[in-house]
Amino acid sequence: DIQMTQSPSSVSASVGDRVTITCRASQTIDSWLAWYQQKPGKAPQVLIYAASNLESGVPLRFSGSGSGTDFTLTISSLQPEDSATYYCQQAKSFPLTFGGGTKVEI
Amino acid sequence: QLQLQESGPRLVKPSETLSLTCTVSGGSVSSDKDYWSWIRQPPGKGLEWIASIYYSGSTYYNPSLRSRVTIFLDTSRNQFSLRLTSGTAADTALYYCTRYISATGWFDPWGQGTLVTVSS
């Protein structure tokens, strides 16, 4: 199984700050990585797929990078509505696995 | 527009079987070439993939749950279902049904989720 390790587990930042979340896979997953945003009481929503492709409708302040085993989600200028928990998910192979999540507080 | 909706008992007694159904609208479980899936989230914790079933019927399970889990399609009702046997308090979670799009590698859309509590 491919293990996904996210860091940090939580981050507190101010409006306008740049926030970076990292995700590391236990073995290479090429670019088979998605990022999700989950707000309280809601289902997760995809932000990024294939490591760096922005899903339609997602604000441009979100970006993803990386390949192989190391990946990054960056919020370039944090907004109040970005307060949420973020998860990475590998799509290289079954069993599909998620990172432990990063809670972003503003 | 594809929509998914979970249904099933909200309270299950320990050692009993948890059964959930996902009703799909705006698409077909038997013709859309994607994986119909279940994911759960214990209160205050992260996401755990449980199982997926391909439109053709091929199944994939989380190894940690494999011995207790069954996923199956009901094409006549355009539904897919989950059975989890020998429930324990550790199975208390918000259960989501969703579609896994293998071409792009993400889950979308998701149902609203249903909270299942395992307790006597």
CA-to-CA dists, residue B29 to A7, B7, B43, B54, angstroms: 36, 17, 29, 9
**pLDDT tens digit sequence for B14-56:** 999 999 999 999 999 987 778 999 999 999 999 999 999 998 8
Taking the C-alpha atoms of residue B86 and residue B83, their distance in angstroms, rounded to an integer, is 10
DSSP labels, B12-73:
E-TTS-EEEEEEEESS-TTTS-SEEEEEEE-TTS--EEEEEEETTS-EEE-TTTTTTEEEEE
**To the nearest whole angstrom, how far is the Cα of A34 from the nearest Cα of chain B?**
6
**pLDDT tens digit sequence for A54-78:** 999 999 999 999 999 999 999 999 9
B42 phi and psi angles, rounded to 5 deg = -60, 150
In this predicted structure, the answer to whether residue A80 has a pLDDT above a threshold of 90 is: yes
Determine contact: B16 vs chain A, CB below 8 A.
no
Determine contact: A64 vs chain B, CB below 8 A.
no
User: Is A75 strand, coil or helix?
Assistant: strand
**To the nearest whole angstrom, how far is the Cα of A58 from the nearest Cα of chain B?**
14
Is the CB of residue A46 less than 8 Å from the CB of residue A35?
yes
* Among the listed residues B22, B8, B32, the one whose alpha carbon sits nearest the alpha carbon of residue B80: B22
Tokens of A13: 């930042």
User: Mean pLDDT throughout B52-64?
Assistant: 94
**pLDDT tens digit sequence for B78-116:** 999 999 999 999 999 999 999 999 888 999 999 999 999
Residues of A in contact with B111 (CB under 8 A): 43
Which pLDDT score, from 0 to 100, does residue B56 have?
Answer: 87
**Cβ contact, residue pair B46, A89, below 8 Å:** no
